[in-house]
Structure 1
């Protein structure tokens, strides 16, 4: 019977012991990592759970409406100007109602822009006047302007401090159908007000079947030009240049654009992003009867044949492309701003900090 040399036996024994120690260390490290992951999850939940409460309390005092620095200039804290160039029939009245409720509480001014004959574009002199008013009317700052006006690029007029544009858009055919019935039957906001097509009981499907003027695909062409601007090409139905310009302006010049179908989420993101003006807006929206302030009366859903007819048109395809582009952008912003914790949607806490600041 052969026996291993003593040195070989001891070497095997040491290797076995080292293996046991390594495995033990690995199991220990794994258990510690699991404990840390559990602790981190608990911390994230706790932070997320208290985020809204902290956000609410942090902005109760008007002196907290701006980032404080060592050289803070009191004259600049009220310079914020928001322009909501609201697209018709996109739940804009519901959202504006929240702004009117909050203006006194949060200390800002709401101004409605009313244009002659509800024109969505201005003459060049009026554009200049509007830019000067918004920029220099310090007595009405901070300000929230709203009106049915196409996008206006302030930088074209030599202005360095530009307003924050926001907007909401809607699925293009849904918006047109809502407008069609609105001008006939009005809404529950002002039910006794006579609209311009009052008395006309023809439904939308029949209007489309007859190819009447107000039901043509060209009537869908509104949301693209609202973001494109005042250029004549913006308002030419089916202009590919206008579509691309609208996308460019949305990304480059708009602070936030939501969709009607996610109006509550839009309000939540806006409150988290501009609490100096919109602190308390989600609570007002949920509990103050603002979630659907204006509902079109006697609105009928279009038939499958009507929907198919519109979807074959190039104009619907372009307007829908813009809607899908906007929705994708909003979903991206929303994912970075909010998350679901234990079934509740909460605001993501601040995820940056400053360090290694020199000199001390």
Structure 2
């Protein structure tokens, strides 16, 4: 009987021990499963977080790209071309490229070739160009004085460009143009047709056509629509023209370096001027509007003209523009005269917080 009781206790002890071992084993497995579950949940949360960050990054990048595309396609360039500066040669380029590069070119034709707009027309002009989305991107060109868009309610200025020429060269070219016309429209009779008086004779006789005050044109074109801009010899107008040239013009080139002007525009505004340099060189449009006959002035005439306060001020603006153009050109085009953009780059770094 005693042995039987001992045997039963031993069996019971073995069963309890075995059961405990099974319970402990399953508890360990449950703990492992719980740990694996936590690791898996943590990894899933990490993957979801990374996916959200990636999605936000892609969305931001897409939005940035969309904004950039929209900005480029909303580009408006105004070329308020000064007469007899090579403007016809230049403007032929965008007309030839507009279909290929998918932009519009529009000529601003003002009644009686006036260079300033009335105040109502200034306002209408600004509102029209600013909101005429169907025409964007666009290049507008015409013999129009600089116009401050922000003064007339626009939120931003269009992109202004221009070309400037040595003032006496421009005056002489215009003088003979009125008499002999040019090779662009050789059959068009100009208002001084038949007048064979040379520029030297004109200066000697102090005629109105060669009056140094006639050189007062590039300054007011950059100065703008203010009354003072159009007073020959006005010092304020010269300073205003310089200020506008620096603050409101993307680029002002010079007639004598038209090819470089085109190359810089192509590097800076490829949306419109892509392929412009090659086209300019191969299309025989480097000098589209050449005056049919032009007699160089004598040294005496040149010295007399240079005594004029108007020539001095117009020449000061020209030299100012020339220095600015050369400053830009040295940093945009490669050395050696190649019409290729300088491979300068920039990057953003040390951005905080990460």
1:72 to 66, 72, 78: 66
Q: Distance in 2 between matches of 1:242 and 1:199?
A: 36
Aligned to 1:139: 134
1:348 to 342, 347, 350: 342
SS at the partner of 1:148?
A: coil
Q: Give 1:269-288 correspondences, 5 Å limit.
A: 269-288=264-283
Aligned to 2:200: 205
Q: CA deviation at 1:353?
A: 1.2
Aligned to 2:148: 153
Report if aligned partners of 2:173, 2:291 keep a CA contact under 8 Å in 1: yes
1:249 to 237, 244, 247: 244
Pair 1:188–1:349, CA change in 2 (3 A): same
1:215 aligns with 2:210: yes
User: 1:6-33: CA deviations, max 9, x gaps?
Assistant: xxxxxxxxxxxxxxxxxxxxxxxxxxxx
Q: CA deviation at 1:70?
A: 3.9
User: What is the number of residues matched between the two proteins?
Assistant: 293
Q: Distance in 2 between matches of 1:71 and 1:279?
A: 20
Gaps of 5+ in 2: 1-60
Q: Distance in 2 between matches of 1:325 and 1:75?
A: 35
SS at the partner of 2:328?
A: helix
Pair 1:327–1:69, CA change in 2 (3 A): farther
| Bigger share in helix | 2
2:116 to 118, 121, 137: 121
Q: CA deviation at 1:72?
A: 2.0
User: 1:32-71: CA deviations, max 9, x gaps?
Assistant: xxxxxxxxxxxxxxxxxxxxxxxxxxxxxxxxxxx97646
Q: Distance in 2 between matches of 1:71 and 1:278?
A: 21
Aligned to 1:190: 185
Aligned to 1:240: 235
Q: CA deviation at 1:317?
A: 0.4
Q: CA deviation at 1:75?
A: 4.3
1:81 aligns with 2:73: no
Q: CA deviation at 1:159?
A: 1.0
Aligned to 1:326: 321
SS at the partner of 1:331?
A: helix
Q: Distance in 1 between matches of 2:75 and 2:92?
A: 20
Q: Distance in 2 between matches of 1:76 and 1:314?
A: 44
Q: Give 1:23-102 correspondences, 5 Å limit.
A: 70=64, 72-73=66-67, 75-102=70-97
Report if aligned partners of 1:340, 1:346 keep a CA contact under 8 Å in 2: no
Q: Distance in 1 between matches of 2:64 and 2:84?
A: 46
Larger Rg: 2
Report if aligned partners of 2:266, 2:273 keep a CA contact under 8 Å in 1: yes
Q: Distance in 2 between matches of 1:265 and 1:113?
A: 25
Q: CA deviation at 1:214?
A: 1.4
Q: Distance in 2 between matches of 1:230 and 1:300?
A: 34
Task: Report the TM-score, using the length of structure 2 for normalisation.
Answer: 0.80
Pair 1:68–1:327, CA change in 2 (3 A): farther
Q: CA deviation at 1:347?
A: 1.4
Report if aligned partners of 2:116, 2:225 keep a CA contact under 8 Å in 1: yes
User: 1:200-235: CA deviations, max 9, x gaps?
Assistant: 111111011100011111001000000000111100
Pair 1:184–1:103, CA change in 2 (3 A): same
Q: Distance in 1 between matches of 2:304 and 2:121?
A: 39
Report if aligned partners of 2:81, 2:87 keep a CA contact under 8 Å in 1: yes
SS at the partner of 1:324?
A: helix
Report if aligned partners of 2:203, 2:211 keep a CA contact under 8 Å in 1: yes
Q: CA deviation at 1:355?
A: 2.7
Task: Tell me how large the CA RMSD over aligned residues is.
Answer: 1.6
Q: Distance in 2 between matches of 1:68 and 1:221?
A: 50
Q: CA deviation at 1:345?
A: 4.4
SS at the partner of 2:73?
A: coil
